[in-house]
Amino acid sequence: MRRDRTLPEMRGAKLVTAVVLAGALGGACGGDDDGAATGGSSGGPRTAATDTTLGTDSTTTTVAAIGQTFPESPVSTTLNQGYASAGELDPAALGGYGPGSIGASWYHADGVYVVTFTDLDPSAALCPGASLLTPAGEFELVTNSPMAEGACENFPTVAEPPVGVRVCNDDLVAYVTPIPSDAEGELYASVEIAVDHAVSMGITGSVATGAGTAPQVDLDALGCFPSF
């Protein structure tokens, strides 16, 4: 929710950023009833940080406050396919997640695709990943990144920052991929884990880049930070 607040009685005075920030935070954390809305667990908008404009007669300053959400994305899917490099998928080894339990929505940020994982616990010690299946039938830009130390142990596809996991507003897992925003093909998102340093298993799902226009988002404004 976006709320505009005016600092009264400040006509002719220069607004100091620190004062504005203190005022904004005080308002956001106060006892009023119009706090931030929280998105649903099945792909609806997710709450994070937004911009609130505070103004005087001569100065307008934009600061962070609670309220902005990830918009719904037409480029969305469910991780509905399970796999294991040996044997069968064991959801218990994957933190209790099985096919269909996690949603994936795709966005654009800073020239690349970002995917968010709905209903994935940010504290889970798992190894999200992403890749692009090109129109030529080749998998490219295959990467993984750990949500916790050692979660992607022995994965040959572990990426270096800025590719990797982010946690947004403390409750939504996002993954910054190296896939360019103008790429064409099938976008794959996955959540995986290595078992006994040899067997890997996980769940995955895909959606075509042509399914719609992925919304543009600002990860900093949405309060997205590295998971550890």
**Residue 187 to residue 115: CA distance in whole angstroms:** 9
Q: Is the pLDDT of residue 30 over 80?
A: no
Which of 40-54, 168-182, 186-200 has the least mean pLDDT? 40-54
- Cα 139 to Cα 211: distance, rounded to the nearest angstrom: 19
pLDDT digits (tens, 9 = 90+) for 55-102: 333 332 233 334 478 999 999 999 999 999 888 899 999 999 999 999
CATH number belonging to the domain at 76-226, selected among 2.60.40, 1.10.150, 3.40.50, 1.10.3470: 2.60.40
DSSP state of 10: -
**pTM, entire model:** 0.71
Residue ranges of domains in the chain: 5-70, 76-226
